[in-house]
């Protein structure tokens, strides 16, 4: 079984969130795919408003909707210096065959993602 490591799970989550950002027609100003380097996306919308997006890949059984508000407030303070809005994107990932198994390259996976949450 070719289990996805933490960076690969993070990249998968970033791809999912990146598609939503593209669908909103936001322009990417910066993309940072390194783990624990925040924000992952800095974007600008049609009204020229900046957005900082924090992406987290969350493995089952943890809940991708659980937000670390203490950490997010730190990011929000940083974003405010740039007059940017802050968003959290928790992407739940699970092995489609058996939720108790890790996500792997050999199996399908299930995504639990409810979109960007403005902080």
Query: Is residue 1 assigned to a domain?
Result: no
Alpha-carbon distance of 85 to 17, in angstroms, equals 16
**What would the mean pLDDT of 13-23 be, rounded to a whole number?**
97
Q: Is residue 44 part of a domain?
A: yes
Who wins on pLDDT, 56 or 107? 56
Taking phi first (over 0 means left), then psi (-120 to 50 degrees means alpha), and beta for anything else, what does residue 109 get?
A: beta
- For residue 11, tell me if it sits in a domain: yes
On whether residue 80 sits in a domain, the answer given is: yes
Q: Is residue 96 part of a domain?
A: yes
Within a domain: 22: yes
Q: How many domains does the chain have?
A: 1
pLDDT > 90? residue 1 = no
Q: Give the helix ranges, DSSP H, for 24-68.
A: none
pTM above 0.75, yes or no: yes
Domain housing 67:
6-118
Q: Is residue 79 part of a domain?
A: yes
**What is the DSSP code (8-state) at residue 46?**
T
CATH no. for residue 96?
3.40.1350.10
Task: For 24-45, write each residue's pLDDT tens digit.
Answer: 999 999 999 998 889 999 999 9
């Amino acid at each position: 079984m070719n289990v996805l490591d933490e960076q690969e799970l993070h990249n998968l989550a970033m791809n999912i969130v990146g598609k939503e950002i593209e669908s909103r027609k936001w322009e990417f100003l910066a993309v940072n795919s390194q783990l624990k380097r925040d924000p992952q996306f800095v974007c600008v919308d049609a009204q020229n408003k900046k957005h900082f997006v924090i992406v987290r890949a969350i493995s089952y059984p943890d809940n991708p909707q659980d937000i670390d508000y203490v950490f997010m407030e730190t990011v929000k303070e940083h974003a405010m210096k740039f007059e940017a809005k802050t968003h959290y994107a928790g992407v739940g990932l699970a092995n489609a065959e058996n939720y108790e198994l890790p996500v792997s390259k050999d199996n399908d996976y299930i995504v639990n993602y409810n979109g960007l949450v403005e902080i």
